[in-house]
């Protein structure tokens, strides 16, 4: 079983934008058109959250972590925690022993963008760096976006997802998103339909109870849940 990543969710900062754009391009190519993160960073109707490491991580560290996870699964052993190997390090060695450059290192694992429209909070994008997918980062960003929407006063949250993205559907359904319609040929790369999903009301005691339980389950599964919206 893969180990939790030492990431926390916070508001987007100016120095994060280049990394967020790179993740956006990776996730949404060939449809990628850069979002105006810098222009809308202080827009009170927009909410940009990032999942970040406390320190920069080199690609070599992530590849090594993935290799350790795979070997540990074969050996039925628990791999050493990534953070225990990288915390406090000022440079990161590549495979040839040289220190990685600032362009190679990163500390943003993923991001989510939300727009507030009346009583609705709409997730426009949610993406995780490819090498870090399947490690709970996307769900942590979803939890952060829901907490921010509840704090903002939104009554529901909505999004679109590819009809073929069953992994995402299952995660959204867990948080009470339901399919309410289809946008035909929504994605221009392959003319795939998008399913429109919306939550039950998120400003109710019933939803708060569910949401609290889901956050507890997440923390039990991944060991931590640090969110500052």
> For residue 98, what pLDDT is reported?
38
**Report for 46-55, 56-65, 170-179: range of highest mean pLDDT:** 170-179
Give me the percent of the chain exceeding a pLDDT of 90. Answer: 67
pLDDT band of residue 22 (cuts 50, 70, 90) is very high
Q: Where are the domains of the chain?
A: 7-227
- Is the pLDDT confidence value at 28 over 70? yes
CATH of 7-227, one of 3.40.50.970, 3.40.630.30, 3.60.15.10, 3.40.50.300: 3.40.630.30
User: In the annotation, is 192 catalytic?
Assistant: no
Query: Which residue in 48, 172, 175, 207 is the catalytic one?
Result: 172
Query: Which residue in 116, 160, 175, 207 is the catalytic one?
Result: 160
What are the residues whose beta carbons fall under 8 Å from the beta carbon of 5, sequence distance 6 or more? 53, 82, 109, 132, 135, 136, 137
- Is the pLDDT confidence value at 17 over 90? yes
Higher pLDDT among residues 13 and 102, named by residue: 13
pTM: 0.81
Distance, in Å, from the CA atom of 149 to the CA atom of 15, rounded to the nearest integer, reads: 24
Evaluate whether 83 touches 93 at the Cβ level (below 8 Å). Answer: no
- Is the pLDDT confidence value at 85 over 50? no
User: In the annotation, is 73 catalytic?
Assistant: no
pLDDT band of residue 205 (cuts 50, 70, 90) is very high
Distance, in Å, from the CA atom of 198 to the CA atom of 200, rounded to the nearest integer, reads: 7
DSSP state of 197: E
Across the range 10-26, mean pLDDT stands at: 95
> For residue 61, what pLDDT is reported?
66
CA dihedral over 101, 89, 37, 198, signed as positive or negative: positive
């Amino acid at each position: 079983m893969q180990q939790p990543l030492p990431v926390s969710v916070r508001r987007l900062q100016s120095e994060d934008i280049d990394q967020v754009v790179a993740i956006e391009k990776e996730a949404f190519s060939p449809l990628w058109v850069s979002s105006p993160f810098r222009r809308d960073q202080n827009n009170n109707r927009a909410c940009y959250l990032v999942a970040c490491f406390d320190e920069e991580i080199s690609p070599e560290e992530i590849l090594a972590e993935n290799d350790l996870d795979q070997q540990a699964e074969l050996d039925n052993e628990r791999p050493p925690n990534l953070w225990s190997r990288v915390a406090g390090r000022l440079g990161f060695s590549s495979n040839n022993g040289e220190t990685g450059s600032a362009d190679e290192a990163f500390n943003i694992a993923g991001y989510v963008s939300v727009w507030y429209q009346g009583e609705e909070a709409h997730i426009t994008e949610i993406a995780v760096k490819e090498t870090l997918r399947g490690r709970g980062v996307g769900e942590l960003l979803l939890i952060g976006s829901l907490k921010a929407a509840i704090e903002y006063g939104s009554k529901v949250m909505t999004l679109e997802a590819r009809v073929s993205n069953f992994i995402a559907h299952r995660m959204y359904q867990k948080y009470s998103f339901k399919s309410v319609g289809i946008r035909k040929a929504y994605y221009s790369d392959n003319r795939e339909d998008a399913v429109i999903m919306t939550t039950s009301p998120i400003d109710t005691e019933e939803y708060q109870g569910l949401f609290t339980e889901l956050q507890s389950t997440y923390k039990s599964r991944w060991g931590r849940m640090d969110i500052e919206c």
